[in-house]
Amino acid sequence: MKVLMTALQPGGGIRTFFRYVYGQPAFEGYSFTLLAPDQGGLEAFLSTFLPAGRIELVPADSGKTGLVRQVRKLANQHAYDLVHSHGFSAGLLTQLALTGNNTPHLMTGHDMFTKPLFTGFKGYINHLLMGLLFNRLTAVHTVTEDAKHNFLEFFPGTPDDKVHPILHGVDAKFFQFGKALDIKKEIGLPTDVPLIGFFGRFMSPKGFKILVDAMGVIKMRLKVSPMPHVVTFGWGGFIREDYAYLDELGLGEYFHQMPQTDNMPGALKGVDLVAMPSRWEACGLLAMEALSAGVPIVGSDSIGLREVLDGSPARQVPVGNSAALAEALVAEIDDIELRRQVFEAYQPDAVARFSIERPARHLAELYIAVSATRGR
């Protein structure tokens, strides 16, 4: 099958999606052309983590108009069986470019819609135009049931049978067999001090400030001894503002910033537990990774994350409730050895449940079904 893929912002979750999904045996024999900005060494990333020749990158011109022009040109010049856009913005622009072209178009949503996006007159117009273009898509792929419900909540005019939820997955065995990094030694922390890992980006949806506030509750009200510490990874986003915030609260000594790591299994296993206080997720991949690694995790009951944590030993707390998060973290710390045993016992179930082979196979089946609609 010959597939044209588009992405406007091929970082974060979209890049992880490419790495996890398109290296699977289900896509052997497929030919992918990816039209996307070559940001952050995307071409090198694809050549490192995917079979040679699996995805050919065509660097996108700058600007939305350039992307529309290139999609139209590629789609008209080549006989693609399917066009697959990644992300809402790419989906809208790609559908606009395909006006007059009958190549089936599948869009994967990698995020969630929120009400502030559509406030005011401008938001109303944007919502109207988006709905018109989304209704022209052949099909929509979401990475959780929650994401499907979110899409249909905001665009109820879309037929239910056009939206296909496939719970995403990870390279579960990669996380299962990783070897723990000695993070406490690296940051100079005594072995008896509990270490909480925060692996999210420094953006509002990931809830870092909620964790900071929870640490304040632990220090001032719960008075745990020894006081737990938090280690974070990577840069970007609002890291300066977020770290300035925790310094204002007098919590700076309890937080440690480390560079982004390529050894996620080792980093996950190098902390005592993972905190994931998300406000929302399209799909809680980090939770899948932690559970596959057998590491205790405390998460919110947010949309997109609760679907992953349900049925696991993980404690869930209400979204945005820092006091509840503090109490859940302390409860986990107080019984950490037993809790680790519980998560290790659940690990085989997590590996089977979240293995990437399943969603990759189902996506390949969806490709076949969507491409077969051509000419209908």
In tens, the pLDDT along 115-173 reads 999 999 999 999 999 999 999 999 999 999 999 999 999 999 999 999 999 999 999 99
- Exposure b/e, 117-127, CB count within 10 A at least 16 = b: ebeeeeeeeeb
Do 148 and 207 belong to one domain? no
pLDDT given at position 238: 64
In a domain, 376, yes or no: no
pLDDT given at position 73: 95
* Structural domain containing residue 220: 172-354
Tokens of 98: 């395909």
Phi-psi region of 99 (alpha: psi -120 to 50; beta: other; left: phi over 0): beta
Residues making up the chain, counted from first to last: 376
Do 244 and 321 belong to one domain? yes
DSSP at 61? P
In a domain, 98, yes or no: yes
In a domain, 103, yes or no: yes
Of the pLDDT bands very low, low, confident and very high (cuts 50, 70, 90), residue 245 is confident
Q: Is 303 helix (H, G, I), strand (E, B) or coil?
A: coil
Do 180 and 157 belong to one domain? no
Tens digit of pLDDT for each residue in 172-195? 999 999 999 999 999 999 999 999
Tens digit of pLDDT for each residue in 18-28? 988 999 999 99
Q: Residue 180, class by beta-carbon neighbours within 10 Å (0-12 exposed, 13-18 middle, 19+ buried)?
A: middle
pLDDT given at position 61: 87
CA distance 11 to 132: 27
Its pTM stands at 0.90
Do 179 and 270 belong to one domain? yes
CA distance 239 to 345: 35
In a domain, 283, yes or no: yes
Q: Are 360 and 26 in contact, with CB atoms under 8 Å apart?
A: yes
CATH number at residue 39: 3.40.50.2000
DSSP at 296? -
Number of structural domains in the chain: 2
